[in-house]
Structure 1
Amino acid sequence: MKKKDERVRLISEIISGIKVLKLNAWEPSFEDRVGKIRKMELGIFRKTAHINALSICLWYTAAGLVSLASFATFVLMDDSNVLDAQKAFVSLTLFNILQRPMGLLPYIITDVVQVSMLSFGDDL
């Protein structure tokens, strides 16, 4: 947002002083300045898109990975632990029940942090 604000501010300056800009033939230099800021802004957007794609990928694979890790831990902990159909299906049902509350946990943490920032100011 900072880069976007910087770009919008520069564009506003250009528009307000367009007559001076045209008289002195400064178009290329201002075009370069706007282009550099826009390039940085697009780089930030790309990084954000990659992080979002990675988090979505992890979100969709997390349930299967947790189930697999839990079953592997159960079986490998002791030789007497046997994973039968009853234990597997009950475990999968419980994992599915927990999936929604665990998915909301990041939003809850974000909201709590935002509320604490509003309540206490920028002291954090």
Structure 2
Amino acid sequence: MILAGGEGTRLTVLSEERAKPAVPFAGKFRIIDFTLSNCVNSGIYTVGVLTQYRPHSLNDHIGIGKPWDLDRSRGGVRLLQPYQARRGQNWYAGTADAIYQNLNFITENRAENVVILSGDHIY
């Protein structure tokens, strides 16, 4: 599970129009590319990306996950948006709530182990 809903208040100039994980890095990458690549290089092929703040450019960038070999019929990448009720919005109330609201993703994939990663760190 990759937490990718950050507003990026310390990167305001770069993240006014996009989520922090979607901020360009080194001309041709996005910050989230490092986390996605690290998942695949570690043998993790079922990835849920939890988005929230201005997710459109991030959703477009990740798409079906083809650049990371995550365009699979089993597993692959899935963009997990916060639940939107008929009346108002029910945004994630923090990291634990984001995971809680997406427990079905974990159970549907019969995950024995779950890794929770940040989508806005470069490592």
Q: TM-score, normalised by structure 1?
A: 0.25
Q: Taking structure 2 as the reference length, what is the TM-score of the superposition?
A: 0.25
More helix by share: 1
Which structure has the larger Rg? 1
